[in-house]
Amino acid sequence: MAAVSVLIPTYERPESLVMTLSGVASQTVTNLQVVISSQGSHRAEASPVAQTVARVIEARGGSVEWHHREPRGIAEQRHFLLNRAEADYALFLDDDIFMEPFVVEQLLSVLKTEDCGFAGAFPAGLTFVDDVRPDQQHIELWEGPVQPEVVEVEGTGWERWHLHRAANLYHVSQNLDLPPGEFLRYKVAWIGSCVLYDRKKLLEVGGFSFWKELSRYHKAEDVVVQNLLMRHFGGCGVVPSGTYHAEIETTTFSPEGTVEADAVDLLPRLVERYAGWG
């Protein structure tokens, strides 16, 4: 069985997808099940370069499978991908993220040590490398083991999201001046783009099965599942993250650049639904 299932939803991003797959191909953890699901007019497997990188992943001990499906929204995409995952740990990786070689190994070590619901490596936008924002760089480190915690919308801990703006986390990692190979765990409101989940725990809170309750263009589906996981198992971010954002426009919004639903609106009843266990 693969050590990690790498789940990549993609939509009309052939160029950045190649960048993302190149990072996957360079990982120190090589026993990877990579599942790519494309939607829209572009079929991910149609790219000769993407196919070449996939062969590198396979040559290093991994596997790659391609799917092309009708668009039904990002939550449904994640639901489909999660159902394809075979490993105990599932990495949801956006199609515009580059990972340094240590990222998967680092996240995997955190989940195995902490036994929490998820660990994430938030990407830096390096166009902001000279845009230093000290007022947005407060970081709450986990001093002991990662513990379950309740982060309410607009309540205590919700403002942690500012750390994930621009290149704030990158600047924090530079200021920490950690020796090579060392990292710290920190508290999050939520974390996007590159998140490793304990697959069993994610399924225990329903995964992304709530996708049917959302209209086509929505946001914050990952915020919802992470909030549920933090309540029952805890979750964290890792610094330095070793990930970088392509900084291209989102493809999850409507053609007009809007959303029709915010998955966070589902959170109160989902919290109630899973309140009696864990």
Check: CATH 3.40.50.1580 for 4-273?
no
108 close to 32: Cβ distance less than 8 angstroms? no
The predicted structure's pLDDT at residue 5: 98
All residue ranges of the chain with pLDDT < 50 are 278
- For the chain, the structural domain boundaries read 4-273
Integer Cα distance of 53 and 51 in angstroms:
5
The predicted structure's pLDDT at residue 278: 45
The predicted structure's pLDDT at residue 202: 98
The predicted structure's pLDDT at residue 156: 83
Integer Cα distance of 140 and 132 in angstroms:
19
The predicted structure's pLDDT at residue 254: 58
62 close to 2: Cβ distance less than 8 angstroms? yes
The predicted structure's pLDDT at residue 245: 96
